[in-house]
Amino acid sequence: MPLGALYQDAIALLGAAGVDVAPLQAGGRKLVFQADDATVFITTRPSDVPTYVEAGAADIGIVGRDVINERRPDVYELLDLRFGECRMVYATAAGEDPTPEIIARLGVLRVATKYPQIAEAHFLATGRQVELVKVSGSVELGPLVGLADGIVDLVATGTTLRENGLVEREQIFHSSARLIANRVSHKLRAEDIDALTARLAQAVAAEAV
């Protein structure tokens, strides 16, 4: 279970699919919870969810597509859960897009990001050389203080970009929460995992109506 922005929506969807989420709703500081039906929940930060699933410490997990694309874990992606929707974008300072001129003049674009794998793959796929500046905090600062020409970041409404004088130039991909599974677990517990996936798919479809 991913702590943070996806947590409450994940609990709600699991509950709608008939999973006993009472231990999660009770809250507290525990990181591992066990339901009355023996289901065990592990709660961790989103970037670590694929690690636990890939290693087999968890059979399944819920995580954003942004984390999957950045971490590239060796797991099965079973279902788009349709919550936590946002988009990965390339953005620069408002005004005329400086990107073509920078590429023509310098041959390389400097980009600040928390997602170096995603950013590098995007620019190389479009034939542009990129120099990445890995940041952990407010990536929007990059173009404002001359650290970078632009940023690659995850946005939902775009409000933070606008408030900092940035505009979206390119959408890289749409992101939402996904259900992933350990490859071995999916073979050994195929019936259980497929049944839960089907119930979650029904709950997602019902939410969309």
Per-position pLDDT tens, the chain of length 209: 999 999 999 999 999 999 999 999 887 788 999 998 889 999 999 999 999 999 999 999 999 999 999 999 999 999 999 999 999 999 999 999 999 999 999 999 999 999 999 999 999 999 999 999 999 989 999 999 999 999 999 999 999 999 999 999 999 999 999 999 999 999 999 999 999 999 999 999 998 77
Residue 2 lies in a domain: no
> Does residue 129 share a domain with residue 101?
yes
Residue of 66, 63, 122, 68 whose CA lies nearest to 91: 122
Taking the CA atoms of residue 86, residue 87, residue 91 and residue 96 in that order, the dihedral angle to the nearest 10 degrees is -100
Residue 1 lies in a domain: no
> Does residue 153 share a domain with residue 90?
yes
Q: What is the pLDDT of residues 125-177, one digit of tens each?
A: 999 999 999 999 899 999 999 999 999 999 999 999 999 999 999 999 999 99
Task: Report the domain count for the chain.
Answer: 2
- Alpha helices by DSSP H, the chain: 7-16, 22-26, 49-55, 65-71, 99-106, 116-125, 141-144, 159-163, 183-188, 190-208
> Does residue 58 share a domain with residue 110?
no
> Does residue 155 share a domain with residue 96?
yes
> Does residue 109 share a domain with residue 73?
no
Q: How far from 195 is each of 98, 183, 201, CA to CA, in Å?
A: 50, 16, 10
Whole-angstrom distance, CA of residue 7 vs CA of residue 60:
15
Residue 116 lies in a domain: yes
> Does residue 124 share a domain with residue 185?
no
CB atoms within 10 A of CB 201: 17
Give the CATH number for residue 27.
Answer: 3.40.190.10
> Does residue 93 share a domain with residue 36?
no
Share of the chain above pLDDT 90, in %: 92
> Does residue 169 share a domain with residue 109?
yes
> Does residue 143 share a domain with residue 66?
no
Quote the pTM value. 0.92
Structure tokens at 32: 């591992």
Whole-angstrom distance, CA of residue 206 vs CA of residue 198:
12
- In terms of residue numbers, what domain contains 72? 7-84+176-208
> Does residue 66 share a domain with residue 28?
yes
